[in-house]
Structure 1
Amino acid sequence: MANELGNIDITEEAGVLTIEVGRLDDATHEGLAKVFRIAHESSADVVVLTGKDRSFLNPMNYDIEWVKHLAVYKDMLKIFKEAEDIIRDIINCEKPTIAKVFAPGAHSLGASIALACDFVVAAEDATFSDPHLSGFGVVPGDGGSLVWPTRIGLGRAREFLMLDKVASAQEALDIGLINRCVPVDQVDAEVAGMVEKLQSYDQVGVRFSKKWLNQYMRQNMNVAGMGSLYAEGMVFSHEDFVEKVDAYAAMLQEQGGYEES
């Protein structure tokens, strides 16, 4: 299964399906478009999503050469379909989903995926942002334009999606972006407590509660989903996209985050 899903590992124990996501490349992006359907069809009660080595799909863990290939038309069509499937499948997965986020936090695609989950539990030293526009010069088309306004409203979402605002975990909690902010050594226990509570209920009731609570997101995705993806694609095809990616990678290298694969 791991080979089919790229840098994604799945384990199931005691009714909990845990998804750990590593370095983002083509195979892993493709795997993300499959893994929540696997979760949906599993026998688990709850799905926990986290990052390998505590990194939650940060841009510093992207395969930068793969990002550059998004400028190729045939690659764009594949990525668009996968991006839509990733967010839609998280929303449609009948099992409650919990994103477990450690520092440095959830950013860009990582933020979109975390915020599409039903619950987000973060270490107090984690941060949240969406640098699609500021970093790569593209539209937040992989779910950011849907999940940020859904959680915190359009006015606040504009600050993060258009003004390069970064939220600490405490601020994210205060504005309703996430559900829990705890010391790093309490994250696992907090998630375990949430899982225990969810498993104590009738599971049919839990699944239908999620289904109807997510109706609003499903409706909005039908409006915002593909439109924002196509807008993102228009920027991918612009002649200076690769230059922007190179500049962003250089900045991350200076910060000691990004390493060449």
Structure 2
Amino acid sequence: MTRFDRYSRFTFRREGRILTVAFSGNAVNAVDAVMHDELADLFVDLQRDPDSDLIVLTGEHRAFCAGGDFDWFDRQISDPRTFRDIAYDAKRIVSTLLDLEKPIIARLNGAAAGLGATIALLCDVIVADETARIGDPHVKVGLVAGDGGAIIWPQLIGFARAKELLMTGDLLTAREAVAMGLINHAVPAGDLDAKVAEIAGKILGNPRWAVRWTKTTANIALKQLMVSMTDAAVAYEAMSNMTADRKEAVDAFRERRAPKLTGE
């Protein structure tokens, strides 16, 4: 038995020293309680894996990871303790991803939204199918963008653009995301694997420890931001889960209608 056999929401495939890890939930790889639990351990296990030097993170089915699962949202709303109980793991997902020394390439085969977008943007290089979309629509379902979005978006595209996108919840096309510096590359679907392989080959062609410790050094500033911001961000997100507008926003999104918001 390997350290990855216990995972039910991810698949793992090796090719030489490259380990490809794929979200593997429902059709859009929405984050449910099980996936969230596994994400809290995933990057530690990837760091400890002795047989890989580079990680490719992607999605099965038609999405990379399209954010939170709506059945899970319903449970969080009906019993806020379930949201409170994931706070530690929410912080751990971000911290362990930033602590991962091995280079990690996000291969966006489809939509990356909410926590899925945060995870993609915290990777080292982001390569997308040009038809993919990316965004953080936490506010559209009544939540604060507390799982790392408020940390990483301003660092990549500046505060003005980041706050507009975080407060509107709008999604970007991959080409729009490249144009503003949010992600690295957007290519036709047929070229996605070749572009990922090209970048991976260039990285792996360099000395291992020079690469790992260069990444570690570059991540220091992000880790400092994470430490200073995440407790408050997760607390605000938990508070927003208990508002009346949170339930109405989720109900309206599910029913594909305009929400009737009260400000409460």
Q: Same fold (TM over 0.5)?
A: yes
Q: CA deviation at 1:3?
A: 6.7
Of 20, 31, 36 in structure 2, the residue corresponding to residue 29 of structure 1 is 36
Deviation by residue 1:192-245 (Cα, 9 ceiling, x = unmatched): 111111111100000000000001100111111121110000011223423321
**In 1, Cα distance between the equivalents of 2:198 and 2:156?**
23
SS of 1:10's partner is: strand
Of 71, 76, 83 in structure 2, the residue corresponding to residue 65 of structure 1 is 71
Q: Does 1:120 align with 2:122?
A: no
**In 1, Cα distance between the equivalents of 2:62 and 2:215?**
27
Q: CA deviation at 1:2?
A: 6.2
Contact between 1:22 and 1:55, CA under 8 Å: does it hold in 2?
Answer: no
AA aligned to 2:133 is T
**In 1, Cα distance between the equivalents of 2:201 and 2:154?**
29
2:6 corresponding residue in structure 1: 4
1:15 corresponding residue in structure 2: 17
Of 68, 84, 94 in structure 2, the residue corresponding to residue 87 of structure 1 is 94
**In 1, Cα distance between the equivalents of 2:175 and 2:252?**
30
Bigger helix fraction? 1
Which one is further off, 161-170 or 33-42?
161-170
- TM-score normalised by L of structure 1: 0.90
Unaligned runs of 5+ residues in structure 2 are 26-30, 258-264
Q: Does 1:202 align with 2:207?
A: yes
Of 21, 46, 49 in structure 1, the residue corresponding to residue 54 of structure 2 is 46
Contact between 2:137 and 2:171, CA under 8 Å: does it hold in 1?
Answer: no
1:213 corresponding residue in structure 2: 218
AA aligned to 1:19 is V
Q: CA deviation at 1:25?
A: 1.4
Number of residue pairs matched by the alignment? 248
- TM-score normalised by L of structure 2: 0.89
SS of 1:86's partner is: helix
Q: Does 1:231 align with 2:233?
A: no
2:28 corresponding residue in structure 1: none
Deviation by residue 1:153-194 (Cα, 9 ceiling, x = unmatched): 111101110123322111111111001111111011100111
Contact between 2:142 and 2:247, CA under 8 Å: does it hold in 1?
Answer: no
Residues 95-114 of structure 1 mapped to structure 2, 5 A cutoff = 95-103=102-110, 105-114=111-120
CA RMSD of aligned residues (A): 1.7
1:151 corresponding residue in structure 2: 156
Deviation by residue 1:37-80 (Cα, 9 ceiling, x = unmatched): 11111121101111111411114xx4312122223243123321
Residues 1:3 and 1:235: Cα distance change in structure 2 (over 3 Å): farther
Which one is further off, 191-200 or 236-245?
236-245
Contact between 2:137 and 2:168, CA under 8 Å: does it hold in 1?
Answer: no
Residues 163-202 of structure 1 mapped to structure 2, 5 A cutoff = 163-202=168-207
Deviation above 6 Å: which 4+ runs of structure 1?
Answer: none
Q: CA deviation at 1:148?
A: 0.7
**In 1, Cα distance between the equivalents of 2:169 and 2:69?**
22
Unaligned runs of 5+ residues in structure 1 are 253-261
AA aligned to 2:93 is I
Of 240, 250, 256 in structure 2, the residue corresponding to residue 251 of structure 1 is 256
**In 1, Cα distance between the equivalents of 2:80 and 2:137?**
23
Query: Equivalent pairs: percent with the same residue?
Result: 33
Contact between 1:19 and 1:47, CA under 8 Å: does it hold in 2?
Answer: yes
